[in-house]
């Protein structure tokens, strides 16, 4: 049983009546008796919440930050009119609105209550129980029951970097020779002959074909297809740090999705690992259009853990999965301690067999701190930021001396920089 706001108002009116006509204290008993009778009658005449048949419908997945509608169906299977408040118990991170809805159903009728979810976290959001509060005809008291009605919403990564995809696909078509461009691709697969244009590398001139024609002819090359990429997402401590208002892991995941979509159009195969102290998710390399959706499903629920990433285990997992030379893209942070103690001692066997790219999200706050000179506190902050930047330069140099390709950018352009580095490697014939 539950009391409504009307019960409080009725009790307040009774208090005023007691002060107005106390009757030597007898009025208190009369008011209490009246309240008890009204509440009892109201509860007795209210429809039972058990007679409300509940069901679910609507969307089952959405992207982070995008709204999705879920529908709760309620049917009055009793013999009394159902006047009730319904609360659908989604967790706070699901962003459910409205929280409470009213229904007024005659026997045998049903109603659909729409709740809009705007999730604030990735992963699976499960609905809690549904609470039905059935009020009596006076609206003073109600019968209440909470019942489980299972439902879930799969919240996928937002994939905001897809806005870069048309630009990257245009460049990919240039590399494939589908669009005339004054740049010679450096792939090893011969594609065709065409007339020389200003800007072509003279080394690409085919002198035999030129001798048979009146124009200078150059060879065009097509970047190799059916290469394999392994994307490794560091889900450890350094990926939990917030950069630009969001965890570094989210920017890495967004870049991984763009790279997956681009590689699929390029005819390459993509595999993925998410790892900290243990393997959190994996997607095997495969052809076809299902790779991107498989990566999205595998990574949507991963949240970075506050543990140190075991880089030796990461390298071991990568070597176990790669049977031929491949491109390994490691999304991590260029944190000096983590790189010197974890990555550098372990990366040797991987660099020896494969092309390794380390992709790191740069913190734009460091650039802002380095520019500060307003007061002594800002100067000290700028000195600390400059020291941190120098440490990162040393780490970057150490990785490049090992043969690692390093790319870094702020969170807004990070995915674009990673895709450009992949296309540069492909144009240079390193894949």
Q: What is the mean pLDDT of residues 32-40?
A: 80
Confidence of residue 44 (pLDDT cuts 50, 70, 90): confident
Q: Is the pLDDT of residue 193 over 60?
A: yes
The residue that leads in pLDDT, 179 or 7, is: 7
Q: Which residues make Cβ contacts (< 8 Å) with residue 169, sequence separation at least 6?
A: 262, 265
Measured at the alpha carbon of residue 23, what is the angle toward residues 21 and 28, in degrees to the nearest 5?
80
Confidence of residue 272 (pLDDT cuts 50, 70, 90): very high
Contact (Cβ atoms closer than 8 angstroms) between residue 135 and residue 83: yes
**Residue 303 DSSP symbol:** -
Q: Where are the beta strands (DSSP E) in 276-367?
A: 279-283, 327-331, 355-361
pLDDT in tens, 343-387: 889 899 998 889 999 999 988 877 777 777 777 777 777 888 788
Task: Evaluate the CA torsion angle 325, 327, 332, 338 in order and state its sign.
Answer: positive
Q: How many angstroms separate the CA atoms of 81 and 108, rounded?
A: 9
Q: Where are the beta strands (DSSP E) in 92-235?
A: 96-97, 100-105, 110-117, 123-126, 130-135, 141-147, 152-156, 189-195, 217-222, 228-234
Share of the chain above pLDDT 70, in %: 92
Where do the structural domains in the chain lie, given as residue ranges? 49-156, 228-427
pLDDT in tens, 283-321: 887 655 678 888 888 888 888 988 999 999 999 999 998
Residue 193 phi/psi, 5° resolution? -110, 145
Output the pLDDT for position 14: 78
Confidence of residue 405 (pLDDT cuts 50, 70, 90): very high
Output the pLDDT for position 286: 66
Q: Does the N-terminal peptide bond of residue 204 adopt cis geometry, omega within 30 degrees of 0? A: no
The residue that leads in pLDDT, 180 or 278, is: 278
DSSP letter string, 8-55: HHHHHHHHHHHHH--GGGHHHHHHHHHHHHHHHHHHHHSPPGGGEEEE
Output the pLDDT for position 289: 60
Q: Which residues make Cβ contacts (< 8 Å) with residue 7, sequence separation at least 6?
A: 35, 39, 140, 141
Mean pLDDT computed over every residue of the chain: 84
Q: What is the mean pLDDT of residues 72-76?
A: 92
Q: Is the pLDDT of residue 273 over 60?
A: yes
Measured at the alpha carbon of residue 170, what is the angle toward residues 168 and 176, in degrees to the nearest 5?
105
Helix (H, G, I), strand (E, B) or coil at 125: strand
Distances (CA, A) of 223 to 104, 191, 267, 325: 66, 9, 10, 15
Q: Is the pLDDT of residue 179 over 50?
A: no
Judged on CB neighbours under 10 Å (0-12, 13-18, 19+), 140 is buried
| Partner residues linked to 246 by β-bridges | 243
Q: Which among 355, 290, 283, 288 has a CA at the least distance from the CA of 317?
A: 283
pLDDT in tens, 105-154: 899 899 999 999 999 888 888 988 899 988 888 778 888 889 898 988 98
Contact (Cβ atoms closer than 8 angstroms) between residue 150 and residue 131: no
Output the pLDDT for position 34: 79
Q: Which residues make Cβ contacts (< 8 Å) with residue 170, sequence separation at least 6?
A: 179
Contact (Cβ atoms closer than 8 angstroms) between residue 41 and residue 137: no
Confidence of residue 420 (pLDDT cuts 50, 70, 90): very high
Q: What is the mean pLDDT of residues 195-210?
A: 73
Provide the pairing of β-strand 61-63 with 152-156: parallel
Structure tokens at 204: 């690409």
Confidence of residue 249 (pLDDT cuts 50, 70, 90): very high
Task: Tell me which CATH homologous superfamily contains domain 228-427.
Answer: von Willebrand factor, type A domain (3.40.50.410)
- How many residues in total does the chain contain? 431
CATH class for the region spanning 49-156: mainly beta
Output the pLDDT for position 279: 92
Residue 36 phi/psi, 5° resolution? -60, -45
Confidence of residue 181 (pLDDT cuts 50, 70, 90): very low
Q: Is the pLDDT of residue 187 over 50?
A: no
């Amino acid at each position: 049983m539950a009391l409504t706001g009307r019960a409080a108002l009725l009790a307040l009116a009774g208090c005023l009546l007691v002060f107005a006509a106390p009757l030597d204290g007898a009025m208190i008993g009369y008011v209490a008796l009246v309240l008890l009778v009204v509440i009892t009658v109201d509860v007795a005449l209210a429809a039972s919440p058990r007679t409300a048949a509940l069901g679910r419908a609507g969307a089952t997945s959405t992207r982070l930050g995008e709204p999705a509608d879920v529908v709760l169906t309620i049917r009055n299977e009793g013999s009394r009119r159902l006047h009730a408040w319904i609360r659908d118990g989604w967790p706070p991170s699901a962003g459910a609105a409205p929280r409470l809805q009213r229904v007024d159903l005659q026997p045998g009728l049903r109603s659909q209550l729409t709740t809009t979810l705007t999730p604030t976290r990735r992963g699976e959001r499960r609905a809690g129980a549904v609470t039905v509060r059935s009020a009596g005809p006076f609206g003073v008291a109600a019968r209440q029951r909470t019942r489980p009605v299972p439902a879930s919403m799969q919240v996928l990564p937002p994939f905001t970097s897809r806005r870069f995809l048309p630009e990257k696909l245009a460049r990919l078509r240039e590399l494939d020779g589908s669009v005339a461009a004054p740049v010679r691709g450096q792939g090893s697969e011969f594609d065709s002959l065409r007339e020389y244009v200003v800007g072509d590398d003279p080394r690409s001139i085919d002198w035999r074909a030129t001798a048979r024609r009146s124009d200078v002819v150059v060879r065009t090359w097509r970047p190799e297809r059916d290469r394999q990429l392994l994307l490794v997402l560091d889900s450890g401590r350094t990926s939990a740090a917030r950069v630009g208002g969001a965890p570094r892991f989210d920017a890495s995941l967004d870049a991984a999705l763009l790279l997956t979509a681009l590689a699929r159009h390029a005819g390459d195969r993509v595999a993925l690992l998410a790892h900290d102290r243990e393997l959190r998710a994996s997607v095997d390399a495969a052809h076809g259009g299902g790779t991107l959706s498989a990566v999205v499903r595998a990574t949507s629920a991963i949240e970075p853990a506050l543990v140190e990433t075991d880089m030796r285990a990461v390298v071991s997992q990568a070597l176990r999965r790669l049977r031929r030379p491949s491109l390994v893209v490691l999304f991590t942070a260029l944190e000096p301690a983590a790189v010197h103690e974890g990555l550098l001692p372990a990366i040797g066997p991987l660099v020896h067999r494969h092309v390794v790219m380390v992709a790191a999200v740069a913190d734009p706050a460091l650039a802002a701190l380095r520019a500060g000179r307003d007061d002594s506190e800002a100067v000290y902050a700028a000195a600390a930021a400059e020291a941190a930047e120098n440490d990162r330069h040393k780490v970057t140099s150490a990785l490049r001396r090992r043969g690692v390709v390093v790319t870094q950018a702020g969170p807004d352009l990070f995915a674009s920089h990673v895709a450009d580095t992949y296309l540069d490697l492909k144009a240079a014939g390193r894949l």
